Structures are given as C-alpha cells and as structure tokens.
C-alpha cells in the first residue's frame, strides 16, 4: 500500500520540480533581448513613440526605409524613460537593437557607457546637420547620433486677450517689455502667463530659455545672471502674474490651462502647433526674449538616431542605409510633418519645409538659435546639474528659500553630484 503511493508522489514531486525550474529559467532573461538576434533580413528598431502604432504613417515610413535597404524592420516602441532603461538592460545583456531613437539628453549617457557606435565608424556624413542641434550627440569630439528633427520652446499667445488688453506682441523685445505686457493683461482682468515649473526635467527644460537668456551658464547655477532669471519667475508667481499651479504643472497641464482661453501667454513647444491652430481662439507665437533684448537660446528637444555597438559589425552597412534614408532632406520634411511638428535638422530640410509651410518661420528661427542641454561638453553631467536646477527653482517658487539662496544650494548640490 505504502510503496506505490510513494513512487507516485516521487514522480509528482519531480514533475513539479522540473516545471518550476523551467518556469524559473523562462523568466530569467530580461524582456527586450529576445527579439534582437533575429537572423538575416530583420533589423530591430526602438523608438519612444508608442502613440504611433503599427498602422501609423510613422511606422510605414520606418518600414519603407527598411525595404529600401533590403531588410525588414522590427519596430518596438517604449515611452521615453522606459526606453533609456530598456536600452541599458539590453546593453548589459549584450544584445541591443540595431537602431535606437533616443531623447537627446540620453545620448551622452549611453555613449559614455560605451554602448553606441560613432557616426565616423558607421561612415555617416554629419557635416550637413546644424551644429547647434547635433552638439547634443557629441561627446569628447565624437558624434554618437544624428538628430531626426528638433523642437523647442516659444511663447504662444491668445490674440483676443492681447488685443483686449492693448498689447502688441511685436513690442515684446526684452524682459522689461514682456513684463509690461503681462502687467497690462493683469490690469485687464485676465491671467497673464503660465509655464511648467514642475520638479522634473520638464521644469528645467522650461526654465532654461530664461536662464540662458539672462546670460547664465549651467556650470555656474548661482551666478547673478541665473539669480536674475529665477527672480523673474519668482516675481511672476508672487505677484499673481503666473498661477501658483506652475509649481506642479507639466508642459501638458500648462497647455490645457492655456486652452481654457483664460491665459495671455503660455510657454510651450513646437509639438503644440496643431493644437494651437484648433484652439477656440486665435493664437500666435513670439520667441522668448533675452533679458536685454534679442532672442533667448531655447533648449532643443527631439530624438537622435543612434546605433548601439553590435558584435557583428557587418550589420552596420545596412543600418547606415536605413539612417541615410531617414535623414534625406525629403525624409526630414516627411518626419517633420508626420510628427506635427518637428523642424528638420539640416539647412536644406528647413528650406524645404518653409517652402511648404511658410508660417513655421518663427519655429525654424527658434530651432536655429536653440542650444542642446548636454552641449558645452556637459554630457553626462547635465542630468545631475538639471536635477539641482529644478530643485532650486521649486524651492524659490514655493517660498522655502530666496532665489539667491536656492541657487546657491543648487550649485553646491550640482558640484557634489558631478564630483567637481
């Protein structure tokens, strides 16, 4: 009686053991790696555009570039932060995809990790790209990616509110004239301006035009110029020119506030062009002024095409063809219009898109005067400096420290974090 039941138990036990070991093995390799080793004609492609599914114009464009190079492209979309983490994991496992479209500040992080091939190695010509745009892909004199387009920030305005308040947008030449315009709008009983001062990268992104426009440098966060920029934002929040919610506003929330039609100005990006055209009121765009006049350098946004280093370097030839296909002048214009809106990253591409849509002029100008966040060879130091900067901005706007003190702390923190 005892024996048979025992052996049955043994069998059962071993089976359970085997099954669980199998399950453990199956769950061990991280996701993402499995698909990159596809043999022959399949090239893997990661991008941060999950909103564009397989049937979208973007996916078709990527596929057609693969077809032209004689291969099929397997595209996977992640959201921006997840993409960087997935890329790091794939790099650690040693099976990265053939192409990654990376948000530009992440390029130097992965390049510094030794994950990316230089454009030189790939044999790709980079001279035709705008210097200020490609700078974000450069680290120690080498270029690790090419911009597929660029977007940046400007001030959208509500024409009706400005007209009612008697403000001429063309009069905004420097901070003083902007301030005067904002006060007029407030006097007319409307909300003057909104922006995103949230404690994330978006907060730094929105603050940089004012920071750079005052003449400050990211290597010295507590310079008098930097303090002047933060004092400007601070006075807006304190005097009720900007709502208190800017402290927690993401750029999307800011835009929703603007779309209510209550606000005179909103700081926002190229990507809202379509939405602005569809708003229930007439809108316009002015560039962000520098402190004492001129146009402030705005930070560039947008993705870079990068090529992770492969064990099989024979793959680079096809990859190069795909990259070239994506970045011809026509290709850049197509990317630009597919993405509503992305300004092409070469002079030729910009001419072509202006020929098609002349009203993009202020944006093309803004992109030409824009500046990469990781430029000035900041590279991998930028994310740390940026964190210190947005924390400083939050401290000042929330009233827990004066702008000067908040930036002094920020500089100390940035120095500590970057090890200088």
SS3 call for 171: helix
Identify which of residues 39 and 114 has a Cβ nearer to other proteins in the complex: 114
Distance CA 38, CA 35 (A): 6
CB atoms within 10 A of CB 374: 28
Identify which of residues 306 and 391 has a Cβ nearer to other proteins in the complex: 391
Indicate the length of the chain as a whole number: 420
Query: Does the footprint of other proteins cover residue 48 (CB under 8 A)?
Result: no
Cis peptide before 341 (omega within 30 of 0): yes
Query: Does the footprint of other proteins cover residue 84 (CB under 8 A)?
Result: yes
Distance CA 319, CA 261 (A): 47
Query: Does the footprint of other proteins cover residue 16 (CB under 8 A)?
Result: yes
- Give the DSSP H/E element, type plus range, for residue 147: strand 146-147
Nearest Cα to 52, choosing from 73, 79, 32? 79
Question: In the chain, what are the helix, strand and coil shares in percent, each to the nearest 5?
Answer: 55, 15, 30
Stretch that binds other proteins, among 103-111, 271-279, 288-296, 358-366 (CB under 8 A): 103-111
Query: Does the footprint of other proteins cover residue 114 (CB under 8 A)?
Result: yes
Identify which of residues 91 and 147 has a Cβ nearer to other proteins in the complex: 91
Q: Minimum CB separation from other proteins for residue 145, in Å?
A: 15
Query: Please, which residues bridge with residue 283 across strands?
Result: 158
Contacts (CB under 8 A) with other proteins, residues 355-414: 380, 382-384, 386-387, 391, 394-395, 397-401, 406
Task: Enter the tokens of residue 154.
Answer: 């400007």
Query: Does the footprint of other proteins cover residue 63 (CB under 8 A)?
Result: no
Query: Does the footprint of other proteins cover residue 46 (CB under 8 A)?
Result: no
Query: Does the footprint of other proteins cover residue 37 (CB under 8 A)?
Result: no
Which residues of the shown chain bind other proteins in the complex (CB under 8 A)?
A: 6, 9-10, 13-14, 16-17, 19-21, 24, 27-28, 81, 84-85, 88, 91-92, 105-106, 109-110, 112-115, 198-201, 243-245, 247-248, 380, 382-384, 386-387, 391, 394-395, 397-401, 406
């Amino acid at each position: 009686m005892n024996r048979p039941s025992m052996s049955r138990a043994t069998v059962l036990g071993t089976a359970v053991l085997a099954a669980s070991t199998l399950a453990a093995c199956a769950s061990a390799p991280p996701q993402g790696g499995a698909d990159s080793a596809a043999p022959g004609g399949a090239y893997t492609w990661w991008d941060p555009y999950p909103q564009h599914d397989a049937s979208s114009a973007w996916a078709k464009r990527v596929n057609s570039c693969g077809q032209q190079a004689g291969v099929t492209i397997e595209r996977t979309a992640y959201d921006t932060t997840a993409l960087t983490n997935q890329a790091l994991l794939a790099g650690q496992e040693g099976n990265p995809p053939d192409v990654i479209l990376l948000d530009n500040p992440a390029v130097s992080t992965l390049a510094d990790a030794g994950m990316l091939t230089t454009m030189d190695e790939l044999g790709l010509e980079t001279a035709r790209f705008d210097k200020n745009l490609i700078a974000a892909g450069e680290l120690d004199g080498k270029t690790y990616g090419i911009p597929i387009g660029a977007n940046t920030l400007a001030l959208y305005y509500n024409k009706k509110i400005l007209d009612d308040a008697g403000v001429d947008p063309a009069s905004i030449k420097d901070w003083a004239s902007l301030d005067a315009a904002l006060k007029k709008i407030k006097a007319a009983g409307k909300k003057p301006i909104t922006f995103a001062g949230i404690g994330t990268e978006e907060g730094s992104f929105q603050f940089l035009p004012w920071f750079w426009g005052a003449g400050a440098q990211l290597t010295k966060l507590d310079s008098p110029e930097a303090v002047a920029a933060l004092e400007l934002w601070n006075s807006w929040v304190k005097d009720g020119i900007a709502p208190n919610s800017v402290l927690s506003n993401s750029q999307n929330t800011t835009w929703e506030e603007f779309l209510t039609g209550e606000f005179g100005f909103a700081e926002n990006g190229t990507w809202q062009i379509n939405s602005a055209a569809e708003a229930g009121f007439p809108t316009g765009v002015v560039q962000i002024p520098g402190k004492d006049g001129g146009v402030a350098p705005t930070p560039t946004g947008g993705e870079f095409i990068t090529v992770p280093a492969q064990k099989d370097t024979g793959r680079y030839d096809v990859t190069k063809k795909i990259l070239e296909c994506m970045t011809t002048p026509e290709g850049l214009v197509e990317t630009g219009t597919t993405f509503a809106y992305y300004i092409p990253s070469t002079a030729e591409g910009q001419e072509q898109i202006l020929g098609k849509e002349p009203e993009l002029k202020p944006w093309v100008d803004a992109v030409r005067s824009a500046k990469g966040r990781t430029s000035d060879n900041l590279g991998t130091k930028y994310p740390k400096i940026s964190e210190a900067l947005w924390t400083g901005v939050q401290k000042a706007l929330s009233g827990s420290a004066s702008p000067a003190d908040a930036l002094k702390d920020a500089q100390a923190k940035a120095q500590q974090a970057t090890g200088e």
